[in-house]
């Protein structure tokens, strides 16, 4: 157990990810190490505030954010998503027919591992599966309609803590491990991993942008970004990161993106959903 915990801590602070056998994968140890690393590094940040990303660690940005949030720029997306959620498909069904609790207050349970299909189901993937199952055209994974529907679903779950499960299934552990390896693997011409910015350098600036901590980073998605002048989804955030390190973005719904979201959301268990969010 000590060896596994030490491996987990080493991974959190940026060491290369070892290739582990299924019985060596320890999500609980990873989550504990993740939480300890960030809370020790940023002892003045209240635990639940990590979901606010750069606003939790930069006083100037926080004041700007609080001023902006009096008239949230994502309100239009929430309103649009609510309307879309209630609008019947051609067959008379709605999004509510595809989700537990009619899709209200469930964001904190996504992504989840589906034992029937043997894959991770992100909220975006579930939305598009719902459309396909009802004879509708799937949404673009990056913005617009997808951002609106998921913004509304996130809004109905605000304050609810992440509750991501990893079932006792070797396929689930493998998916979690793939997501973890993707997060720590360097890529692109700049040879950066996700962890290079969001584990090693949160709170620091890259040009005008303050880097967010990885702990709780998925809780605020989808987000309105000033740089985008609009809403973007989890997929758009991942694709943007790939592009910024001059790597190759993956297609929407790609298994790697779903697996890395599974990893990041699991190690953030207990933190509250704060999406839709705003970022510079």
From the list 130, 194, 197, 241, the catalytic residue is 241
Q: What are residue 206's phi and psi, to 5 degrees?
A: -115, 110
The string of DSSP codes covering the chain is -HHHHHHHHHHHTTPPPP---GGG--HHHHHHHHHHHHHHHSTTS-GGGGGGGGGGT-HHHHHHHHHHTTS-TTHHHHHHHHHHHHS--TTS--GGGGSGGGGTT-GGG-SEEETTTTEEE-HHHHHHHHHHHTT-PPPPSSSHHHHHHHHHHHHTTTTPBP-----S-HHHHHHHHHHHHHHH--BTTTTB-HHHHHTSSTTSEETTEEPPPSTTGGGG-SEEETTTTEEE-HHHHHHHHHHHTT--PPPTT-HHHHHHHHHHHHTTTTSBP--SEEE-
241 catalytic residue (yes or no): yes
Apex 234 CA angle, 8 and 48, nearest 5:
60
Cβ-contact 226, 279 below 8 angstroms? yes
The set of residues, in sequence order, having a beta carbon less than 8 Å from that of 173 and lying 6+ positions away, is 22, 25, 27, 166
**Active site amino acids:** 241
């Amino acid at each position: 157990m000590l060896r596994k915990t030490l491996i987990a801590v080493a991974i959190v602070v940026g060491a290369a990810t070892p290739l582990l056998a299924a019985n060596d994968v320890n999500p609980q140890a990873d989550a504990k190490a993740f939480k300890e690393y960030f809370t020790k590094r940023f002892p003045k940040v209240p635990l639940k505030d990590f979901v606010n990303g750069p606003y939790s660690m930069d006083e100037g940005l926080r004041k700007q954010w609080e001023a902006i949030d009096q008239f949230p720029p994502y309100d239009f997306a929430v309103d649009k998503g609510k309307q879309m959620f209630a609008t019947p498909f051609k067959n008379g069904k709605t999004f509510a027919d595809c989700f537990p609790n009619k899709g209200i207050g469930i964001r904190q349970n996504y992504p989840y591992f589906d034992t029937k299909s043997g894959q991770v189901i992100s909220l975006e993937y579930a939305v598009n599966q719902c459309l396909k199952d009802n004879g509708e055209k799937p949404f673009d994974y990056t913005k617009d309609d997808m951002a609106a529907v998921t913004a509304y679903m996130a809004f109905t779950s605000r304050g609810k803590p992440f509750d991501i499960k990893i079932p006792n299934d070797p396929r689930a552990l493998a998916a979690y491990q793939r997501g973890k390896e993707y997060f720590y693997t360097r890529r692109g011409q700049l040879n950066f991993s996700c962890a290079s910015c969001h584990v090693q350098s949160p709170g620091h600036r890259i040009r005008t942008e303050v880097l967010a901590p990885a702990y709780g980073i998925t809780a605020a998605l989808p987000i309105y970004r000033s740089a985008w002048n609009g809403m973007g989804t989890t997929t758009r955030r991942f694709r943007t990161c790939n592009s910024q390190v001059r790597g190759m973005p993956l297609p929407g719904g790609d298994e790697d993106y779903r697996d890395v979201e599974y990893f990041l959301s699991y190690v953030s268990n207990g933190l509250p959903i704060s999406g839709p969010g705003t970022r510079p």
